[in-house]
Amino acid sequence: MDSITHIALGACMGEAFAGKKLGKKAMIWGAVAQSIPDIDFVAGFWMDVPSELLAHRGFTHSILFLFLITPFMALAAEKWHRPHNISFSKWLTFFLLVVAGHLFVDAFNNYGVGWFEPFTHDRISFHAVYVADPFFSIWPLIATIALILLKRKAPKRVFWWKFGLFMSAIYLSYCVVNKTIIDKRVQVALQNQHIPHTRYFTTPAPLQNWLWFVVAGNDEGYHTGFYSLFDKNPKIAFEYFPAQHQLLDSVTDHEALQKLIRFSQQYYTAEKWGDTLVFNDLRFGQVIGWHRPREQFVFHYYLSHPNDNQLVVQRGRFAKWDLEIAQSFLQRIYGN
């Protein structure tokens, strides 16, 4: 999830843990603990883009890191606030739960997290929530603002931290239910439409949880489409993109390409844009794909011009959006 959401969730958890004893300082500890796994952004200052992609949500989002960092945070907090009546074991439990919450929530996005680094590089991804979903983030954010404004001993503080955490949990559960429904419908559509595939996934389109991006295929190519929970027609309008892996033969031994393939979890295609060789990671969707089905993919990496790659996961996410595109997006959510 985005940084603001992690900070807000952590602040609510901190208030729940020790708001009555530490006041708003407890919120700060919670916000810091929820944010600490994202310290991996520092790697971007000296790594190339493919290495940075693998480093992000890698070791600092692992179970091993969780058990390494929590004792240090617990010890720091226990010493910082002396004298107090909070035992070290309680501090340890608090930080363990807050950091684990970050690792858990991030796994619901399509980026994936390395829970088992460094023992295996497999990424965990439930593909159930968009990386920045305002319908998930709004509840803890409202609660955090209320907690900041309220006085330390205000009785309503209990209501607000419960509101922030419980409403987020309810929405997350709702997203999982949506994911289950979508997957069942997509499986039926793939079978009925005779779409050849050895792998497939569904993931939410931007900023919501009702319209989903669908990818199904194999090493020969992939079918992509969009499906809404409100669609009345069970048929999915698929577009086919050949994998064209043969285009990569000339650079197959390049370390950057191998890292990109590993990062893509095998969902990738290659293209030629003029004289530029392009690597597409399909997991992040298409630029306004619901409006123009043949649009390019959000994540595209210029293999021929590596110095031109910056923010490759983000650069096409909201490209070409305007009022017309936003209206078509809302219409597509409403259903076909």
Average pLDDT, stretch 34-54?
90
**The two structure tokens encoding residue 334:** 């409403």
Domain boundary among the residues 146, 174, 202 is at: 174
Residue 132's pLDDT is 92
User: Do 225 and 115 fall within a single domain?
Assistant: no
Average predicted confidence (pLDDT) for the chain: 94
Same structural domain for residues 23 and 77?
yes
182 assigned to some structural domain: no
**What is the average per-residue pLDDT within 143-154?**
95
- Report how many domains make up the chain: 2
- Answer whether residue 161 is part of any domain: yes
**CA torsion sign, 8 to 180 to 107 to 18?**
positive
3-state secondary structure of 201: strand
Pairing status of strand 268-273 against strand 239-242: unpaired
Could you tell me if residue 183 is inside a domain?
A: no
pLDDT (mean) for 59-70: 97
217 & 320 share domain:
yes
What share of the chain has pLDDT > 90, as a percent?
Answer: 84
d(CA 228, CA 334): 7
Name the residue with higher pLDDT: 192 or 48.
192
- Residue 63: band (very low, low, confident or very high) from pLDDT cuts 50, 70, 90: very high
Q: Could you read off the pLDDT of 189-239 as tens digits, one per residue?
A: 999 999 999 999 999 999 999 999 999 999 999 999 999 999 999 999 999
Q: What are phi and psi of 222, to 5 degrees?
A: -135, 145
Q: Are residues 167 and 206 in the same domain?
A: no
- Both tokens assigned to 330: 């809302």
179 falls within a domain:
no
Both structure tokens of 317:
């996410």
What's the average model confidence in pLDDT over 4-29? 95
Q: Which of 7, 18, 159 is nearest to 85 (CA)?
A: 18
CA distance 153 to 16: 13
Q: Indicate the SS3 state at residue 222.
A: strand
The two tokens of residue 44 are 């971007």
Looking at residue 330, its pLDDT comes to 96
Residue 99 sits in the same domain as residue 219: no
**For 143-148, which contacts have Cβ atoms below 8 Å and span 24 or more sequence positions?**
143/8, 143/11, 143/12, 144/7, 144/8, 144/11, 144/12, 144/27, 147/11, 147/12, 147/15, 147/19, 147/24, 147/27, 148/24, 148/27
Which segment of 54-58, 111-115, 313-317 scores lowest on mean pLDDT?
313-317
Same domain, 134 and 198: no
H or E stretch covering 87: none
**Claim to verify: residue 56 and residue 110 sit in the same structural domain:** yes
Instruction: Grade residue 83 by pLDDT with cuts at 50, 70 and 90.
Output: low
Looking at the structure, tell me whether residues 7 and 133 fall in a common domain.
yes
Are 113 and 107 in contact, with CB atoms under 8 Å apart? yes
Residues 147, 198, single domain; the answer is: no
pLDDT of 335 higher than 90: no
pLDDT tens digits, 258-303: 999 999 999 999 999 998 999 999 999 999 999 999 999 999 999 9
Cβ atoms of 283 and 300 closer than 8 Å:
no
Structure confidence at residue 81 (pLDDT): 83
Peptide bond into 118 cis (omega under 30): yes
Q: Are 182 and 201 in contact (CB under 8 A)?
A: no
Residue 127 counted as domain residue: yes
CA distance 9 to 99: 11
Write down which residue in 111, 142, 174 finishes a domain: 174
Last residue of a domain, one of 174, 202, 220: 174
Are 124 and 203 contained in the same domain?
Answer: no
Looking at residue 46, its pLDDT comes to 83
What mean pLDDT do residues 28-46 have? 91
Give the E-state strand segments of the chain in sequence order: 199-204, 211-218, 221-228, 239-242, 268-273, 276-286, 297-302
My answer on whether 169 and 263 are in the same domain is: no
pLDDT at 165: 98
Q: Which residues form the domain of 208? A: 193-334
Q: DSSP string covering 107-136, please?
A: TTSSS-B-TTTTT--PPB----S-TT-HHH
Separation of alpha carbons 9 and 16, rounded Å? 11
Residues 274 and 134 in one domain: no
Answer yes or no: is 31 within a domain: yes
